[in-house]
Structure 1
Amino acid sequence: MKPLFIVLEGIDKAGKSTQAELIKTHLINQGNSAIISSEPTDGVIGKLIREAMQSQSIAIKNQAKFDEQMAYLFAADRHYHLYNDIDGVYKLIQQDNSHVIATRYYFSSLAYNCNNQEEFDFVYGLNKRFPNPDLVIYIDVSLEVALSRLQNAAYKEVYETEAKLKKVRANYHKIFHNYQGAMLKLDGQNTIESIHQQIITYLEKNFI
């Protein structure tokens, strides 16, 4: 299997991190190199994003302007994620011959930072030069399930509200309805083992 750039998407608590770890373990057990490299990154901009998401430390009260600021930051961090010379996605794939598994990519910016067509066009413009992954896995869960899982979270980020997640889920459905790249859509309310097996079956069918 050639080194792949695999992206997992979905609203908060859809199960992306769990499945990313299972994919990584499976690929390693098959004799491959595999790394999880998610967004925001651990770089300077990524750390700023994490701080802003946890405390809304950016001094902008207007939600639309806050989303716009976050879209700029995520685009800059995404460029670093792909192209930095230490652990950038393409360095890992091309030089280290490693599969790269990411939870979140530019689809998240389109889902979380857009509330209307004008904002969608703006965020799309910031991200249009970023390449599609080899595979995007969209894990869909209902709003009720996500909110139930969030009740047990150690802390909540600024976007983890019922109103925001409802809008984000609707945005994801629009984005992936028109997406032309390789995509696997899964029901995140199935068991962890069932979801994992569907992913492995897809990988073996399409990339081996």
Structure 2
Amino acid sequence: MKPLFIVLEGIDKAGKSTQAELLKTYLINQGNSAIISSEPTDGVIGKLIREAMQSQSISIKKQAKFDEQMAYLFAADRHYHLYNDVDGVYKLIQQDNSHVIATRYYFSSLAYNCNNQEEFDFVYGLNQRFPNPDLVIYIDIALDVALFRLYNYSYLEVYETEEKLKQVRENYHKIFQNYDGEMLKLDGQNTIESIQQEIITYLEKNFI
């Protein structure tokens, strides 16, 4: 299997991180090199994003303007994620011959930073030069399931509200209705093991 750039997407608590770890383990057990490299990154801009997500430290109260600011930051961090010379996605794939698994990519910006068509066009413009991954895996869960899983956390990030996640899930559905790249859509309410097996089966059928 040639080195792949695989992206997992979905609303908060859909199970992306769990499946990313399982996929990494599977690929390594098959004799491949595999790395999880997610967004936001651990770079300077990524750390700023994480701070803003946890405390809304950016002094912009109007939600639309806050989303716009975050879209700029995510686009800059995404460029670093792909192209930095230390652990950028394409350095890992082309020089290190490693599969790269990411939880979140530009689809997340389109889902989380847009509330109408004008905002979608703006965010799309910021991200239109970023290449599609080899495979995007979209894990879909019902809103009430996501909220139930979030209920057990001691703190929530600024986007982890019922109103926001409802909009985000609707945005994801619109995005992937029109997406023409390689994609696997999964029901995130199935068992962890069955979701993992669906991913493995798809990879073995389409990339080996």
TM-score by length of 1: 1.00
Q: Which residue of 1 aligns with 2:204?
A: 204
* 1:153 has 2:153 as partner: yes
Mapped partners of 1:86, 1:197: distance in 2: 32
Where do residues 87-102 of structure 1 align in structure 2 (5 Å cutoff)? 87-102=87-102
SS in 1 for 2:13: coil
Partners of 1:154 and 1:201 lie apart in 2 by 36
Distance 1:5 1:153 in 2: 30
How far apart are the structure 2 equivalents of 1:24 and 1:153?
A: 25
SS in structure 2 of the partner of residue 57 of structure 1: coil
1:70-109 deviation line (CA, Å, top 9, x unaligned): 0000000000000000000000000000000000000000
Aligned ranges 1:156-167 → 2 under 5 Å: 156-167=156-167
Q: CA deviation at 1:155?
A: 2.0
Structure 1 counterpart of 2:170: 170
Determine the structure 1 residue equivalent to 2:124.
124
Superposition deviation, residue 154 in structure 1? 3.4
**CA drift at 1:198:** 0.0
Partner of 1:105: 105
Q: Structure 1 residue runs of 4+, over 3 Å off?
A: none
Verify: 1:181 aligned to 2:181, yes or no: yes
Please give the secondary structure, in 2, of the residue aligned with 1:125.
helix
| Matches of 2:20 and 2:153, distance apart in 1 | 19
1:37-76 CA-to-partner distances (Å, cap 9, x unmatched) read 0000000000000000000000000000000000000000
Per the alignment, residue 69 of structure 2 pairs with: 69
Cα shift at 1:153: 1.7
> Which residue pairs with 1:54 in the alignment?
54
Q: Give the TM-score normalised by structure 2.
A: 1.00
Cα distance, 1:152 vs. partner? 1.1
Q: Which amino acid aligns with 1:120?
A: F
Cα drift, residue 188 of structure 1: 0.1
Question: How much does 1:168 deviate?
Answer: 0.1
Q: Which moved more, 1:182-191 or 1:147-156?
A: 147-156
Residue number in structure 1 paired with 2:134: 134
Q: Secondary structure at the residue paired with 2:22?
A: helix
Measured in 2, the distance between the counterparts of 1:15 and 1:79 equals: 25
The alignment-based identity, stated in percent, is: 89
- Give the secondary structure class of the aligned counterpart of 1:34: strand
Secondary structure at the aligned position of 2:157 is classed as coil
Residue 33 of structure 1 pairs with residue 33 of structure 2: yes
Structure 1 distance, partners of 2:162, 2:135, is 29
Q: Distance in 2 between matches of 1:32 and 1:155?
A: 37
Structure 2 portions without partners, runs of 5+? none
User: CA RMSD of the aligned region, Å?
Assistant: 0.3
Q: Deviations over 1:143-192 (max 9, x none)?
A: 00000000112321000000000000000000000000000000000000
- What is the rounded CA distance, in whole Å, between the counterparts of 2:154 and 2:86 in structure 1? 31
Aligned length: 208
